[in-house]
A and B are shown apart, each in its own frame.
Chain A
Amino acid sequence: MYRYLVRKSLIYLLTFFVAVTIDWAIPRLMPGNPIDGLIARFQTNSTAAQDLHGFFTRSFGLDQPLWKQYLTFWQGLLHGDLGPSISYVGTSVSELIWQALPYTLALLVPAIILSYIAGNRVGAMAARRKSLDNTALPVAYVLTATPYVWLAIVLSYYLSFRLGIFPISGAYSFSLQPAWTWEFVKDFLAHWFLPFLTLFLVAFGGWAIGMRNLIIYELESEYSNYLQALGAPSKLVRKYAYGNAVLPQMSGLALALGAVVGGALVTEIVFGYPGIGTLIITALNNRDYFLLQGVFLFIIIAVLIANFVVDIAYVIVDPRTRAGIQGS
């Protein structure tokens, strides 16, 4: 078990290192100079622009040799300092991410967990009952083939604009302040529901299909036939089959995290939800390189941590990894 976890940790550390390096390297390798963009926004005359250019280059440390910049980057990272933001002048990148994070997590965590549980359950049921299979499976295929952005647009259009059931954008009404009052919570939930539903539906489709295939495979296996030949109640057989089928789904969860995070980002953009996604679009529009870098880094770290959590859960669920036999 420890070997398995140590191996996984090594991979994640390596990934983290590579990701940080990529994150640091890209702005410096790409054509164009972030300082030029910053100066252009000030629209000053050329001599003042030159002085400003020199000032900013020095203050952002861009005149240092590359290796020194790299080390400074790591230093700042380990202190939690991701640099200043250009779009929201005066606020640091870490502050912005910290403010936007709860909203993204409020969408992601319930969506991932609920779609995983519901998708697996429905997939397992569809594997048993042919009637459910014939209706649920095509729906699941359509759902998993739907782009997140489009489902977000469709839900937003029909349920918010046309029918007016849900609010159009934002996380809460302009007239309210975040507080632990029932009024605010109700309003928050009304704004939260559609983005959550988008993420839930698309992810649900994928899990349902996967689980259905796995359960069918398990129900045809030898131990299943043996149990049925012995006269075991089908509920018992299903219990074992489900337990075995969950394992590949769990490894799939680690893989799918990256995709769902991507989906959450664009869904937030469509709904104007003030999470990490909207932060990215702001950074893109304002050529705010520091914000982009910081958000990218943060996403990577979050996904790595989530992967590690799933791996630990996998060790708990699959006794083979505990015994040292290669599980999956």
Chain B
Amino acid sequence: MVTPALAETGEGAGQKEPEQRGKRFEALHFAFHNTKLVIGLTIVLLLLAVAIIGPYFTSSDPFAFGYPTGQPPSSHYWFGTTAPGQDVFCQFVYGLRSSFIVGALAALVAGLIGMAIGFIGGYRGGIVDDILSMLTNVVLVIPTLAVLIIVAAYLSVGSLTSEAILIGLTSWPWAARAIRAQTFSLAARDFVNLARLSGRGTTRVVVNEIAPNMSSYLFLVFILLFGGSVLTAATLDFLGLGPSQVMSLGLMMNQAVSNAALQLGYWWWFIPPGIAITALVGGLYVMNVGLDEVFNPRLRST
């Protein structure tokens, strides 16, 4: 989906100067006073806590049967049980864990590819940029879900890592585009030209000069990629194309629908996974907007 727009800005945040220390503290101050960032971060951290600590409160196997079938939430079973007799809360916390893992990994993969292509294209310009742009546009136009369905159907994804890599390989184009646009403005700056004049190679210049000055922007891109990957993974899992041996929130919804949870009224089976995904992705998006305001003083409304 079209994600909240990142503000375009020519200024990089935090150049290496003596005032860096003061600037960092100033950023932190604005960070903690920014409502959106605080709310978003709280939601995400809460969910992360549940994902990390939760499994210690439940049994180790989310697929385990043997519980009473179709129980609504109670003090015994916090999220109730499924139709064949599994613990929904157990599935929920493990599924949440999977979402975090896949989201982070996929964002990492997509981010790395996007950075490589965006930096090189933006810095080099010319024919290299034209080729990379064309590549980006081609991959961009292809609807990711269609590709993922095709590939996952044939490959039968076995683990979270492979699912994450798959998603990462299809969602990098917009990151590449955004990074390329930012690199263009940075590449025209004096310190980059100085580095280029001193004979530094492309990789050196990109890694040492451009990337650190875009670090805040890169972080924002990563967060948006994270949110998008969680959504894509949930959809893939719902279609049954994710790893079937690993519990995930999408898989919970898939099993709920195929086990007639809608007809039977077992709302506790399919409502919590969706709420978790919505909360996680929504929290990430709101966090992203808040961070944007912190990094770009022009956007601050307070």
Residues of chain A touching chain B, judged by Cβ–Cβ distance below 8 Å, are 11-12, 14-15, 18-19, 22-23, 26-27, 30-32, 141-142, 144-151, 153-154, 156-157, 161-162, 202-203, 205-207, 209-210, 213-214, 217, 248, 252, 254-263, 265-266, 269-270, 280-281, 284, 292-293, 296, 299-300, 303-304, 307
A203 near B145: Cβ-Cβ < 8 Å:
no
Is there a chain A Cβ closer than 8 Å to B2's Cβ? Answer: yes
Chain A residues with CB under 8 Å of B197's CB are none
Known pairs A258-B145, A280-B149; A154 contacts B274 (CB<8 A) = yes
B274 near A153: Cβ-Cβ < 8 Å:
yes
Question: Complex Cα distance A8/B85, Å?
Answer: 55
Minimum-distance CB pairs A-B, first 8: A262-B145, A150-B274, A258-B143, A145-B282, A30-B154, A145-B281, A206-B1, A206-B2
Chain B residues with CB under 8 Å of A151's CB are 274
Chain B residues with CB under 8 Å of A141's CB are 4, 282, 285-286
B141 near A11: Cβ-Cβ < 8 Å:
yes
B273 near A150: Cβ-Cβ < 8 Å:
yes
Question: Complex Cα distance A205/B1, Å?
Answer: 9
Question: Complex Cα distance A42/B149, Å?
Answer: 26
Residues of chain B touching chain A, judged by Cβ–Cβ distance below 8 Å, are 1-5, 7, 134, 137-138, 140-147, 149-151, 153-155, 174, 227, 231, 234-235, 238-241, 250, 253, 256-257, 262-263, 265, 267, 270-271, 273-274, 277-282, 284-286
The minimal Cβ–Cβ distance linking A205 to chain B, given in whole angstroms, is: 8
The minimal Cβ–Cβ distance linking A269 to chain B, given in whole angstroms, is: 7
B141 near A15: Cβ-Cβ < 8 Å:
yes
B262 near A259: Cβ-Cβ < 8 Å:
no
Chain A residues with CB under 8 Å of B277's CB are 145-147, 150
Q: Which of A150, A259, A296, A300 contacts B253 (CB 8 A)?
A: A150
Chain A residues with CB under 8 Å of B145's CB are 258-259, 261-262, 265-266
A to B CB contacts below 8 Å, 6 in the list: A141-B285, A141-B286, A149-B253, A258-B142, A259-B1, A296-B150
The minimal Cβ–Cβ distance linking A27 to chain B, given in whole angstroms, is: 6
Q: Is the interface of B mostly helix, strand, loop or mixed?
A: helix
Q: Is the interface of A mostly helix, strand, loop or mixed?
A: helix
Known pairs A11-B137, A18-B138, A150-B277; A299 contacts B146 (CB<8 A) = yes
Closest residue on chain B to residue A18 by CB atoms: B138
Chain B residues with CB under 8 Å of A248's CB are 5
Chain A residues with CB under 8 Å of B138's CB are 11, 14-15, 18
Q: Which of B7, B239, B267, B271 contacts A266 (CB 8 A)?
A: B239
B235 near A148: Cβ-Cβ < 8 Å:
yes
Closest residue on chain B to residue A153 by CB atoms: B270
The minimal Cβ–Cβ distance linking B180 to chain A, given in whole angstroms, is: 14
B278 near A147: Cβ-Cβ < 8 Å:
yes
Question: Complex Cα distance A27/B150, Å?
Answer: 9
Question: Complex Cα distance A157/B277, Å?
Answer: 18
Q: Which of B146, B239, B265 contacts A296 (CB 8 A)?
A: B146
A303 near B142: Cβ-Cβ < 8 Å:
yes
Known pairs A161-B263, A280-B149, A300-B146; A256 contacts B2 (CB<8 A) = yes
Chain A residues with CB under 8 Å of B253's CB are 149-150, 153
Known pairs A18-B138, A145-B281, A303-B141; A27 contacts B154 (CB<8 A) = yes
B5 near A292: Cβ-Cβ < 8 Å:
no
B278 near A142: Cβ-Cβ < 8 Å:
yes
Chain A residues with CB under 8 Å of B4's CB are 141, 144, 209-210, 213
Question: Complex Cα distance A206/B227, Å?
Answer: 14
